[in-house]
Amino acid sequence: MMLNKNLDGALANLDDAIKLDPDAIMPYVMRSEVHARRKEWDAAETDINTALRLRPENPLVQLNAADLKLRRGQFSEARASYQTMTPTSATADLISYRIFLCDLGLKKTKDAEQELAAFTDDKTPGYNFAHAAWALDQGQAQQAVPFLKLALQQHPRQALIIYFAGLEWLGYLPLLKVVTDPNTIGI
């Protein structure tokens, strides 16, 4: 439902799901995402806050709430939200990457450089996408290519969507035109 372009249909289905079970969090999380894709920020925030009210301890809800702030360019608020999350082995890499993106957005170059240096395992998506984001932030799209290529070789594309989204949210997509040619990154 979320990958197709029928956002109106998705909203209608999610409205129905909420009517059926107003205490279920996933329809609110998903509806928040639909609103965010439509740049309906207030509605997105209302839905994610409802999910937070229902299940404040849920890591998925916390992550989506922080991501919404990042998408809106509220870098300080997003960073603070990510820092309050308890990382697990499954989320530590992503949370570190998101904090790094916040510091890029805040133009905290020294902090971002320190965080970049903390990504030491080149087999993680965070390492590759953080290095790509750094290169893009410096206006060096060609230097981003090897990192994106490595990430695509090492991980399923579906698993990388959440990392790639961060590049989109910071406005780096126009700089990535160089890597849109499949031959450029070898896919």
Written as one letter, the residue type at 183 is N
With a pLDDT cut of 90, the percent of the chain lying above it is 80
Tell me how far apart the alpha carbons of residues 181 and 66 are, in angstroms, rounded to a whole number. 32
152-176 confidence digits (pLDDT tens): 999 888 788 999 999 999 999 888 7
Regarding the domain with residue range 1-86, which homologous superfamily does it belong to in the CATH classification? Tetratricopeptide repeat domain (1.25.40.10)
Residues near 139 by beta carbon (within 8 Å), at least 6 away in sequence: 175
Q: What pLDDT score was predicted for residue 180?
A: 52
> What global pTM score does this model have?
0.89
Region for 181 from its dihedrals, namely left if φ exceeds 0, alpha if ψ lies in -120 to 50, beta otherwise = beta
Helices 125-137 and 92-105: crossing angle, nearest 10°? Answer: 10
Residue extents of the structural domains in the chain: 1-86, 90-187
Q: What pLDDT score was predicted for residue 184?
A: 52
10-61 confidence digits (pLDDT tens): 999 999 999 999 999 999 999 999 999 999 999 999 999 999 999 999 999 9
